[in-house]
Amino acid sequence: MNSDKYQEGLLISAIQNGTVIDHITGGEALIVLRILGITGSTNECVSVATNVVSSALGRKDVVKIENRELKDEEVDRIALIAPKATINIIRERRVVEKKGVDIPDTLIGVLRCPNPCCITNTNEPVSSRFSVQGKRLICDYCDTVIGSDISSHII
Amino acid sequence: MRHYISIRDLDRNQIDHLIDRAARIAVYGADAQPLKRKILGLLFFEPSTRTRMSFESAMLRLGGSCMNLGGVEVSSMAKGETLADTIRVVSGYADTIVLRHPKVGAARLASEFADVPVINGGDGAGQHPSQTLIDLYTIHQSMPLDRIKIGLVGDLMYGRTTHSLAYALTRYNAEIHAISPKGLGLPESLKHDLREAGCEVIEHDSIEEIIRDLDVLYVTRFQRERFPDPASFFDVAASYRITPSLLQGVKDNLILLHPLPRVDEIDPAVDSLPYARYFQQARNGVPVRMAMLLEVMQ
């Protein structure tokens, strides 16, 4: 038996319907939950495993969310902090869709620009917009570069 | 519809074309009133002398008219109107808008809401493309732009004119010498971009160590508020001041530029030396901005 599945099976039971986010970078699961807006006061039934042994990643996190299928924009957000994550859509206990995450060329309304003087941090009717260039995210309005600690800028 | 938001939006051919057009205007003038009945909207949300007046002069010389926003305190911005709404409204009144705004990225935003061309007249610490075109044009009057050795002096961390000029010079394979005190050097992201574009960037603490090798020395102002105390500001300002004695032994064809206004960065005794080109640079604002206005309105 695959060691990943063995560990996972011990920690989290299968779900009937919903989404399993696998291969999240070890220790990042709580950030994924924050990105998805899942807090203690929301209604989703969520299972989280952190630092599970993974043959591919060494350590990984897994998040299972019942009765919720992720939207593309939510997947974009996850890709920023967990570029190796896989998204499994579950219906009637079967995986009906399995996809990797992919950072798009442009991120609209996903990140808050760290430059307090950027026009997107005012009451103007625009969303933030970042161009993705390798590991650098560049604000299309003020050219500010986000190169690290991306999760702290996610809206 | 053509906007001028950032010098990075222009490739070498487009820059060369504008410089050539400005040069023809400077020599021959423009055709008779090519922008007659056109209106330029000047939306200046922060103080400016050279940019506002030279755009106004350029428009009047082309036969057009200018419409001023006036002070921010008497505009609808004071009532809380967004810039986006102001731009949408003024788009109905003017054929082109020149925007100066304290927020970075304001001109990019304006271009997304305007029905007419927008020219960035400087947005916060961001871009100022017409100033960069003036700088390039002034250098071009003295030497070919290719492979120049240029020293950028001053507050290189926050100085938008030096950032824009550095980006533009990547199109001409310049060798850039960044001269500034520690903590006010070029931002890491900018250096990354310049080197990525194949431009050589060398950093220096003092002007003396490099000035004799330079073709162009571009001086900018230190801003007092960047320094923790007045004494450190005066120390730094004094050690980066351009004086006649500092210029001894430089190349005969060195040119000295400054976007102005200057405070103490250049000794007035330098003004009469053949290196000084900063007032010529300011005058060049008119033909360069005439060329830009013709590009967007003709």
In this structure, the number of other CB atoms found within 10 A of the CB of residue B273 comes to 14
Identify whether the C-beta of residue A60 lies closer than 8 Å to the C-beta of residue A25: yes
- B112 contacts in A (CB within 8 Å)? 126
**Nearest residue of chain B to residue A121 (CA atoms):** B103
Which tokens sit at B257?
């530029």
What pLDDT score was predicted for residue A1? 40
Q: Which domains does chain A have, with CATH numbers?
A: 18-99 (3.30.70.140), 106-153 (2.30.30.20)
Mean pLDDT score across all residues of chain A: 86
Q: Crossing angle for the helix pair B129-142 and B160-169, nearest 10 degrees?
A: 60
Phi, psi (5° rounding) for residue B126? -90, -115
Of A125, A136, A141, the CB nearest to B104: A141
What does pTM read for this prediction?
Answer: 0.88
Whole-number pLDDT of residue B72: 65
Using the beta-carbon criterion (under 8 Å), do A142 and B84 form an inter-chain contact? no
Average confidence (pLDDT) over B161-177: 95
Nearest to B82 among A118, A125, A139 (CB): A125
pLDDT at A3 over 50: no
Distance from CA of B119 to the nearest CA of A (A): 15
In B, residues 75-104, which contact A (CB 8 Å cutoff)? 82-84, 101-104
The Cα B297–Cα B3 span in angstroms is 10
* For chain A, percent of residues with pLDDT exceeding 90: 44
Mean pLDDT, residues A108-127: 94
When computed from its CA atoms, the radius of gyration of chain B, rounded to whole angstroms, is 19
Whether residue B78 has pLDDT greater than 80: no
- Nearest Cβ partner of A145 from B82, B84, B189? B189
Distance from CA of A129 to the nearest CA of B (A): 11
Of the two residues B80 and B1, the one the predictor is more confident about is B1
What proportions of chain B, in percent to the nearest 5, are helix, strand and coil? Answer: 45, 15, 40
The CATH class that applies to domain B130-282 reads: alpha beta
In this prediction, residues B46-66 reach a mean pLDDT of 95
Residue of A123, A125, A140 lying closest to B108 (CB–CB): A140
**Residue A154 neighbours by CB under 8 Å, 6+ apart:** A34, A35, A77, A80, A81, A110, A111, A112
Exposure pattern of B160-178 as b/e (b: 16+ CB <10 Å)? bbbbbbbbbbbbbebbbbb
Q: Which comes out higher in pLDDT, residue A1 or B60?
A: B60
Per-residue pLDDT at B66 exceeds 80: yes
Q: What pLDDT score does B11 carry?
A: 96
Predicted confidence at residue B145, as pLDDT, reads 97
Please provide the size of chain B in residues. Answer: 298
User: How far is CA B106 from each of CA A126, B43, B45, B207, rounded to the nearest angstrom?
Assistant: 11, 12, 11, 34
**Partner-chain contact A117 B102, CB within 8 Å:** yes
| Contact between B82 and A143 using a beta-carbon 8 Å cutoff | no
Q: pLDDT tens across A51-81, in order?
A: 998 887 789 999 999 999 988 888 888 888 8
Fold of B7-127+285-297: Rossmann fold (3.40.50)
Percent of chain B having pLDDT more than 70? Answer: 97
Cα distance between residue A62 and residue A29, in whole Å: 7
Residue B199 has a pLDDT of: 93
Q: What percent of chain B has pLDDT over 90?
A: 80
pLDDT in tens, B90-120: 999 999 999 999 999 999 999 999 999 999 9
Most confident region among A91-105, B38-52, B173-187, B274-288 by mean pLDDT: B274-288
* Top-confidence range, A44-53, B160-169, B259-268, B269-278: B269-278
Q: Touching check for B63 and chain A: CB below 8 Å?
A: no
Q: Which residue intervals of chain B bear CATH 3.40.50.1370?
A: 7-127+285-297, 130-282
Name which residue leads in pLDDT, B191 or A80.
B191
Name the band, by pLDDT with cuts 50, 70 and 90, for residue B158. Answer: confident
Question: What pLDDT is recorded for position B126?
Answer: 82
Mean pLDDT in chain B? 93
- Alpha carbons within 13 angstroms on the beta-carbon side of residue B70 total 6
- A141, A145, A146, best to mutate vs chain B, most B CBs in 10 Å: A141
